[in-house]
């Protein structure tokens, strides 16, 4: 067991320097100390300190899992990296310590996660060959974990569910503990063809150890074959289901990524499909998780990445020994019938300095950039991040925002690593914009967080220019 953690130390010794000197390294965004990172896990505030765990493949920059990484912070922006807390080292989780969540109670941390097992052989890993077990570990300090306790196994899931059952999110409500799990249900269409249906399983427990099936949540419509990373919470009196449906057909201005992530408002009698809104319209966003901070804020962090994309969306950090990062922690608020998402207020407290852009151009090099625009009134604005044609162009007009790496001759700018174009529409003309660039990640918040676009961008420091063109008022700050 110790051996699995020793291997990570050795890899850090070997590659840590390369990662640390990478020009694409982020400053405020959680990134892997070495190797690959995906979903945020176990987000919580524990004894005043914020803990973020993440799906971690330190030994393979192309993923494959194996660990839960760990970092801690007092301000949600400066993170101290700790040793991993979980490794795939038992019978139940030997192929992966998959995603999960934290529950803090009476000064103790409880981490719920999925142990994945893929049996060797010629299996489809949907109906056969996979074992999904829900496990629990406990901790006094967020770092040292108790032995792993099995909570639910294949024998505990309903008959019509495939072997894909994972990503427990656990919370306490009205004196009982509740768990929601992502699931893939076996289903057939009218012609008898297999057409699986995504959904969620709901379990309830009096003591966090014994769980009973309480219900199922799914869509009566055709809404994806699998729902990953479900999260169920209340926001200003609304019941919100956040989840990642896989298998939705792409539309010109909706569902533009391979897999989707969004939320539905669970109103009486409404189907989750009816109210579904995507969390993010950019290229790189998936598997978000929320938690409630001690001050009552509902904070969301997503993975700024996407599974199964390595052919088309390259991350140029791979040559430097690492890949992917998490998004800025963002506060959720309910407004105008939907959820708005803006970076946590701690961001403004970092000590930003005003920057002068001469004729609309600023060279940001190794600085992080915060550009605010207002009084846009739906008029055309263009923000260009990059040098010459090797750039990301953010274009706003009326209710429409577009992020594009397409150069005038139709080719894709190298700094996008294969990313092309994304479009999103706000419910009203664009009035405000906030653009944040931290090295290789750009996040664009439209109309105070009504729409958000997250994308990775790979510019060498000497290519890091920012151009602003438009009629809106604007202010640039750097740090």
Site residues for ligand FRU per CB under 6 A: 38-39, 55, 65, 98-99, 114, 166-167, 228-229, 286-287, 307
Cβ-based nearer residue to ligand FRU, 226 or 393: 226
Q: How far is the CB of 456 from ligand FRU (least distance, A)?
A: 16
Q: Are 69 and 58 in contact (CB under 8 A)?
A: yes
CB within 8 Å of 337: residues ≥ 6 apart: none
Question: Hey, CA dihedral for 162, 167, 169, 170, is it positive or negative?
Answer: positive
As beta bridge partners, residue 358 has 361
Token digits for 154? 């294949």
Token digits for 51? 């803990």
The residues that are catalytic are 39
Q: How far is the CB of 58 from ligand FRU (least distance, A)?
A: 13
Cβ-based nearer residue to ligand FRU, 276 or 286: 286
Q: How far is the CB of 274 from ligand FRU (least distance, A)?
A: 24
Give CA–CA dist 36/111, Å, rounded.
Answer: 21
For residue 289, give the nearest of 21, 40, 479 by alpha carbon. 40
Cβ-based nearer residue to ligand FRU, 308 or 375: 308
Q: Are 104 and 118 in contact (CB under 8 A)?
A: no
Give CA–CA dist 67/131, Å, rounded.
Answer: 18
Cβ-based nearer residue to ligand FRU, 73 or 114: 114
Q: How far is the CB of 244 from ligand FRU (least distance, A)?
A: 7
Q: Are 136 and 105 in contact (CB under 8 A)?
A: no
Cβ-based nearer residue to ligand FRU, 39 or 431: 39
Ramachandran angles phi, psi of 149, nearest 5°:
-115, 130
Cβ-based nearer residue to ligand FRU, 204 or 258: 258
Q: How far is the CB of 419 from ligand FRU (least distance, A)?
A: 19
Q: Are 56 and 35 in contact (CB under 8 A)?
A: yes
Cβ-based nearer residue to ligand FRU, 307 or 414: 307
Q: Cβ of 267: how many Cβ atoms within 10 Å?
A: 11
Q: How far is the CB of 443 from ligand FRU (least distance, A)?
A: 19
Q: How far is the CB of 403 from ligand FRU (least distance, A)?
A: 22
């Amino acid at each position: 067991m110790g051996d699995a953690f020793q291997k990570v130390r050795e890899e850090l010794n070997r590659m840590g320097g390369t990662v640390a000197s990478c020009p694409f390294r982020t400053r405020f965004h959680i990134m892997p100390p070495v190797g690959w990172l995906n979903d945020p896990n176990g987000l919580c505030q524990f004894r005043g300190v914020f803990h973020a765990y993440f799906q971690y493949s330190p030994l393979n920059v192309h993923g494959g899992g194996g660990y839960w990484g760990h970092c801690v912070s007092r301000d949600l922006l400066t993170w101290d990296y700790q040793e991993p807390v979980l490794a795939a080292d038992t019978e139940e989780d030997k192929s992966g310590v998959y995603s999960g969540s934290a529950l803090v109670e009476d000064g103790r941390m409880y981490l719920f996660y999925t142990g994945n097992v893929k049996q060797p052989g010629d299996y489809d890993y949907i109906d056969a060959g996979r074992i999904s077990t829900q496990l629990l570990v406990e901790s006094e300090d967020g770092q040292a974990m108790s032995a792993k306790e099995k909570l639910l196994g294949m024998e505990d899931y309903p008959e019509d569910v495939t072997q894909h059952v994972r990503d427990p999110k656990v919370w306490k409500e009205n004196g009982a503990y509740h768990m929601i799990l992502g699931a893939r249900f076996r289903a057939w269409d009218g012609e008898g063809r297999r057409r699986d249906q995504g959904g969620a399983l709901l379990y309830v427990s009096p003591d966090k150890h014994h769980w009973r099936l309480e219900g199922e949540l799914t869509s009566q419509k055709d809404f994806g074959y699998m729902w990953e990373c479900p999260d169920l919470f209340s926001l200003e009196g609304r019941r919100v289901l956040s989840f990642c449906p896989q298998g939705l057909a792409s539309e010109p201005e909706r569902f533009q990524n391979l897999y989707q992530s969004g939320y539905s408002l669970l109103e009486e009698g409404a189907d989750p499909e009816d109210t579904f809104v995507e969390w993010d319209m950019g290229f790189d966003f998936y598997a978000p998780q929320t938690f409630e901070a001690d001050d009552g804020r509902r904070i969301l962090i997503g993975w700024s990445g996407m599974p199964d994309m390595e052919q088309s969306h390259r991350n140029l950090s791979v040559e430097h020994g690492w890949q992917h990062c998490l998004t800025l922690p963002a506060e959720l608020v309910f407004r105008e019938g939907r959820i708005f998402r803006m970076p946590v207020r701690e961001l403004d407290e970092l000590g930003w300095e005003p920057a002068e852009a001469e004729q609309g151009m600023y060279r940001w090099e190794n600085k992080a950039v915060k550009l605010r625009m207002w009084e846009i009134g739906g008029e055309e604005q263009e923000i260009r991040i990059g040098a010459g044609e090797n750039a990301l162009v953010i274009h706003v007009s009326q209710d429409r925002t577009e992020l594009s790496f397409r150069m005038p001759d139709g080719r894709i700018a190298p700094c996008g690593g294969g990313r092309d174009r994304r479009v999103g529409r706000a419910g009203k003309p664009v009035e405000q914009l906030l653009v944040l660039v931290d090295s290789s990640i750009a996040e664009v918040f439209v109309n105070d967080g009504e729409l958000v676009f997250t994308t990775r961008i790979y510019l060498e420091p000497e290519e890091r220019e920012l151009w602003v063109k438009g009629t809106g008022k604007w202010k640039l700050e750097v740090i």
